Chain A
């Protein structure tokens, strides 16, 4: 018996015109498919690499490892205030330009110029080659022709994106589509208190998005996180979302919950009762200048009073979670091989005014981590058995509709890229 209304078609899956048949996860266990995804997806779509707050002043920079696209970029705020990104490679002999101690680790800082560690070639913040050591030893070197290789960079609501495909001219805002337009105006810039976590996960990148794009698992996998009576109640109810939607390659799920304070204090753990906070965030939402009913239209799209949070999947690997108590969580999944990826989870809060609010935020951030640890290891268990290929088809229910959409989208990008490669007469990427 459904607790929330479904579309007239009887299910979200049929409403969104996505097949209902069992699915294959071959796309998550095939090294060959991963190589195709690198070419078709990670080298060709807009990737969110950070926030403008990471670049507070002229000369502020950070590097981002994009293993899936076989590159590293350095993102920098120029002397003109513009945010630019460059392939992180020196034009002289190909050394990685910006790194500290460990070439594969990300770094950040403030500088006036980038200086290569190898032969001290120097580049301005806008990428121009400014200095060549023993320039006279070179042969007709035209410094203007050896600037850093620039990467298309655009900013949406403070989120910095890069696109490594020089031929992709789709503007970021157009690519992000209707959900992004409908989120614009949310005061992300007020949420500057950041807790960021990182994990190396032993699964295909899509499998972790799957885990966070459905909450069907929550009453079971996370039952130990609830008080015993509450866990039984939640398992009996199961999980139903308020609303699902897709827009091109992107998708979203709108969820109930997190209404604070909970009607029944017995359902919360002692630490949650003491701090008035939990996984859904502090129960007392800070003022962000917007009441829940005045939030931009893509947030809580069904305008349900029971609304708790929205989770947007911006293809390929950026998830944006907006919570009712006025905080935001982002997830990024950076593939490192067909069965490994780096997961980043970042909590954004309004800066706390006092020690109690600071503790409320700590509980929300730590709760996310405790849940994430349960998810992360389950993924490795899933990956290893999918790779056995002992079972090849898996049924998905209506609350797992976004999983179907994600895998279909990823396969469609690969097929489309291969078709265009064939049409252009170049061999399809292996």
Chain B
């Protein structure tokens, strides 16, 4: 059976549930998580993002494989999670109360 992510990204397997399609769903997962969970994901995924620029630059969006698609969505989730981890220290934007801004149109991948 093929692994979830491309070779070299095995360390992300425990966080495969972050490979979520769509910013709205990724943001919902962020809000449903604790800071401990967000930190755990960030601490493993962020160093991999830092060292993967060359790899990601050679992944063409045209005909992107399922493995690379999942890797891309996981890193998209990391982008969403970076705000609470690096800035807010809480899953929600401070003082944002009940307000929401929802993605209603996004790229297919």
A-facing residues in B8-60 (Cβ within 8 Å): 23, 46, 49-50, 53, 56-60
A-facing residues in B47-79 (Cβ within 8 Å): 49-50, 53, 56-61, 64, 68, 71-72, 75-76, 78-79
Interface size, chain A (Cβ < 8 Å) = 42
Please, how many angstroms separate the alpha-carbon atoms of A64 and B5 in the complex? 41
- Also in contact, A355 and B68, with CB within 8 A (given A374-B93, A376-B96): yes
- Asked if A356 is an interface residue, CB under 8 A from chain B, the answer is yes
- Asked if A366 is an interface residue, CB under 8 A from chain B, the answer is yes
> What's the A-B contact tally at a CB cutoff of 8 Å?
121
Contacts of A377 in B (CB 8 A): 95-97, 99
Assess the A196–B105 pair: CB atoms within 8 A: yes
Interface 9-mer from A164-172, A268-276, A393-401, A406-414: A268-276
- Asked if A297 is an interface residue, CB under 8 A from chain B, the answer is no
Assess the A359–B94 pair: CB atoms within 8 A: no
Please, how many angstroms separate the alpha-carbon atoms of A366 and B58 in the complex? 23
Assess the B76–A354 pair: CB atoms within 8 A: no
When C-beta atoms are compared, the residue in chain A nearest to B84 turns out to be A370
Please, how many angstroms separate the alpha-carbon atoms of A103 and B40 in the complex? 44
Contacts of A429 in B (CB 8 A): none
Interface 9-mer from A11-19, A243-251, A302-310, A345-353: A345-353
Contact residue among A224, A355, A372, A374 (Cβ-Cβ distance under 8 Å from B61) = A355
- Also in contact, A224 and B87, with CB within 8 A (given A199-B101, A355-B68, A373-B101): yes
Please, how many angstroms separate the alpha-carbon atoms of A372 and B101 in the complex? 8
Assess the A199–B100 pair: CB atoms within 8 A: yes
- Also in contact, A359 and B23, with CB within 8 A (given A274-B46, A377-B97): no
Contacts of B100 in A (CB 8 A): 199-200, 373
Assess the A373–B99 pair: CB atoms within 8 A: yes
Q: Of B78, B83, B101, which is in contact with the most chain A CB atoms at under 10 Å from its CB?
A: B101
Contact residue among A201, A269, A274, A378 (Cβ-Cβ distance under 8 Å from B49) = A274
Contact residue among A224, A352, A369 (Cβ-Cβ distance under 8 Å from B94) = A224
Please, how many angstroms separate the alpha-carbon atoms of A4 and B57 in the complex? 39
Assess the B61–A352 pair: CB atoms within 8 A: yes
Assess the B79–A359 pair: CB atoms within 8 A: yes
- Asked if B2 is an interface residue, CB under 8 A from chain A, the answer is no
Please, how many angstroms separate the alpha-carbon atoms of A358 and B75 in the complex? 10
When C-beta atoms are compared, the residue in chain A nearest to B101 turns out to be A199
Please, how many angstroms separate the alpha-carbon atoms of A177 and B15 in the complex? 53
Please, how many angstroms separate the alpha-carbon atoms of A271 and B49 in the complex? 9
- Asked if A365 is an interface residue, CB under 8 A from chain B, the answer is yes
Contacts of A199 in B (CB 8 A): 99-102
What distance in Å separates the Cβ of B61 from its nearest Cβ neighbour in chain A?
6
- Asked if B4 is an interface residue, CB under 8 A from chain A, the answer is no
Please, how many angstroms separate the alpha-carbon atoms of A136 and B98 in the complex? 55
Contacts of A201 in B (CB 8 A): 99
Please, how many angstroms separate the alpha-carbon atoms of A193 and B106 in the complex? 8
What distance in Å separates the Cβ of B73 from its nearest Cβ neighbour in chain A?
10
- Asked if A198 is an interface residue, CB under 8 A from chain B, the answer is yes
Interface size, chain B (Cβ < 8 Å) = 40
- Asked if A225 is an interface residue, CB under 8 A from chain B, the answer is yes
Q: Is the interface of A mostly helix, strand, loop or mixed?
A: helix
Assess the A366–B23 pair: CB atoms within 8 A: yes
When C-beta atoms are compared, the residue in chain B nearest to A273 turns out to be B50
Please, how many angstroms separate the alpha-carbon atoms of A345 and B71 in the complex? 27
When C-beta atoms are compared, the residue in chain B nearest to A276 turns out to be B53
Assess the A270–B46 pair: CB atoms within 8 A: yes
Q: Of B75, B79, B82, which is in contact with the most chain A CB atoms at under 10 Å from its CB?
A: B79
- Asked if A197 is an interface residue, CB under 8 A from chain B, the answer is yes
| Mask of A270-290 contacts with B, CB within 8 angstroms, 1/0 | 110011000000000000000
Please, how many angstroms separate the alpha-carbon atoms of A353 and B56 in the complex? 11
Assess the B59–A366 pair: CB atoms within 8 A: no
- Also in contact, A376 and B82, with CB within 8 A (given A195-B106, A196-B104): no
Assess the B95–A378 pair: CB atoms within 8 A: yes
Contacts of B79 in A (CB 8 A): 271, 275, 359, 362-363, 366
Please, how many angstroms separate the alpha-carbon atoms of A293 and B104 in the complex? 35
> Which residues of A approach B to under 8 Å, CB–CB?
193-202, 224-225, 269-271, 274-275, 343, 345-346, 351-359, 362-363, 365-366, 369-370, 372-374, 376-378, 380
Q: 3 closest A-B pairs (Cβ-Cβ)?
A: A271-B82, A196-B105, A356-B56
Known contacts A196-B103, A377-B96; 15 additional CB pairs below 8 A are: A197-B102, A198-B102, A225-B87, A269-B86, A270-B46, A274-B49, A345-B101, A355-B68, A359-B49, A359-B56, A362-B79, A373-B93, A373-B100, A376-B96, A377-B97
Q: What are 21 A-B pairs with beta-carbon distances under 8 A?
A: A193-B107, A195-B23, A196-B103, A197-B101, A199-B100, A202-B99, A274-B49, A274-B53, A356-B57, A357-B57, A363-B79, A365-B23, A366-B79, A366-B83, A370-B83, A370-B93, A374-B94, A376-B96, A376-B101, A377-B99, A378-B95
